[in-house]
Amino acid sequence: MIIEVKTNQRNYPIIIERGAICKAAEIVYGEPGTDTAVSGTAKSGTADTGAVGSGFTNSGTAGFDGTKRGIIEPGSKAFIVTDSGIPDKWKEALQRQFPSSPMFIFEQGEASKNISTYKEILSWLASNRASRKDTVIALGGGVTGDMAGFAAATYMRGISYINIPTTSLSQIDSSIGGKTAIDLDGLKNIVGAFWQPSAVIIDTDTLSTLPARQLAAGLAEAVKSGLIGDAGLFEIFEEMEALAFMQPTAQADTLASRLDGIIYRSLMVKKAIVEQDENEASLRKLLNLGHTYGHAYESYYAGRYLHGECVAMGMMTIIQDEEIRTRLGKVLKMLDLPISCDADKGRIAELVMSDKKAVGNHIEIAQVDEIGKAHLETWSIGKLRDMLETVQQ
């Protein structure tokens, strides 16, 4: 499956294909299993077909958006950025195809998404003589994508960047939209840039090594996408919930077999929104459903819950329609995501009030009208605080 994303900065393909990581070089350069392309021998798309590398024709699609360019320029050298938690099998799968590419491995975890790792990546690019026509490949979750993407956005005023996300969260959420960032002085994503990738390669096989809790947390964002823009996507989760009588392994197999479709549909929801509102002026805020409380829970629990788990609780707090909350609660439970918590309401209210998205005493929040349809509402901070009293956290 290929999604064509069109933005003002650049258009790019998102390739969703099991096993795609083993074809990354082919997808990028049009030459299988080697980075000889790095020395300048790669074929870019031909004038006849407009094809962008044989990876696309392999995927049953002849080219992307009619351009005659390759995904990256012939002769562009790849610089791989990854973290210490990515299993060797995925690193090796990539390194085999890009044998002369340097690989930068940083310590896994959000704590590394900081200015010193960012600086190390820039120094590593510079010392390896990365040029303006070279490319950064990010292999990893949202932390890797955000940091490698930001380094690519700023090195030599911006070089090409290809994202190979390997967590459910990064495949579903951070693989589209062009947000890149690092944290600073305890403030999350406070330094960053909108920098669209040249391509995104999503291989759901990589999720086979992801811990189940991480997998489920990322799926909270897919549930959110269903709620705001695709009732059919939400119903996929409800169908799985109806299979709750199955053995856990059978349930996991059912989920695995549906992952490509779930990711594709989630990205289509986000694509429709970000293409209309690239810089988050308005519509894009719909994607923040559940995030106002979610971020507050995340700060409050300081690492006890994963981002997606906090979004799950945040959606349960903000959604007002009882029937929708009941349906959502069942789906989240099926995914082993938390739907209530023991947070101190007063402290959550304080954290909500200091949300960086608040303007004066107000904040725009997403609200679900019916499953698959949402709108934005401006709420006073007081209303958000009062909500905490009326809902069971």
With beta carbons less than 8 A apart as the criterion, state whether 279 and 257 touch: no
Annotated active-site residue in 285, 291, 325, 327: 291
Residue type, 174: S
Residue closer to ligand NAD (CB basis): 23 or 327: 23
Q: Quick one: tokens of 10?
A: 């650049």
Asked if 163 interacts with ligand NAD (CB under 6 A), we say no
- How many CA atoms lie less than 13 Å away from 19 in the CB half-sphere? 4
Q: Considering only residues 282 through 321, tell me which ones interact with ligand NAD, judged by CB under 6 A.
A: 307
Q: How far, in Å, CA of 98 to CA of 389, rounded?
A: 55
Asked if 229 interacts with ligand NAD (CB under 6 A), we say no
Q: Considering only residues 189 through 208, tell me which ones interact with ligand NAD, judged by CB under 6 A.
A: 189, 206
Window 92-111: contact mask with ligand NAD (x via CB under 6 A): ----------------xxx-
Residue closer to ligand NAD (CB basis): 313 or 324: 313
Asked if 142 interacts with ligand NAD (CB under 6 A), we say yes
Annotated active-site residue in 77, 113, 265, 295: 295
Asked if 226 interacts with ligand NAD (CB under 6 A), we say no
**Dihedral of the alpha carbons of 10, 11, 17, 19, in degrees to the nearest 10:** -40
With beta carbons less than 8 A apart as the criterion, state whether 313 and 392 touch: no
Annotated active-site residue in 17, 26, 73, 221: 221
Establish whether 375 is a catalytic residue.
no
Q: How far, in Å, CA of 250 to CA of 239, rounded?
A: 14
Q: Select from 135, 161, 158, 162 the least CA-distant residue to 77.
A: 135
Reading phi first (left if > 0) and then psi (alpha if -120 to 50, else beta), residue 351 is in alpha
Residue of 39, 41, 100, 209 interacting with ligand NAD (CB under 6 A): 209
Residue closer to ligand NAD (CB basis): 51 or 217: 217
Residue of 141, 197, 290, 372 interacting with ligand NAD (CB under 6 A): 141
Q: Which sign does the torsion angle of CA 257, 262, 263, 264 carry?
A: positive
Window contacting ligand NAD (CB under 6 A); options: 12-20, 22-30, 72-80, 170-178 = 170-178
Q: Which sign does the torsion angle of CA 97, 100, 101, 107 carry?
A: positive
Residue closer to ligand NAD (CB basis): 121 or 387: 121
With beta carbons less than 8 A apart as the criterion, state whether 374 and 368 touch: yes
Q: Where are the alpha helices (DSSP H) in 230-247?
A: 231-242
Size of the site for ligand NAD (CB under 6 A): 28
Asked if 44 interacts with ligand NAD (CB under 6 A), we say no
Q: How far, in Å, CA of 375 to CA of 191, rounded?
A: 28
Establish whether 280 is a catalytic residue.
yes
Residues in contact with ligand NAD by the rule CB under 6 A: 83, 85-87, 108-110, 113, 140-144, 146, 166-167, 169-170, 173-174, 177, 179, 189, 206, 209-210, 214, 307
Q: Give the residue numbers marked as catalytic.
A: 157, 179, 221, 270, 280, 284, 288, 291, 295, 307
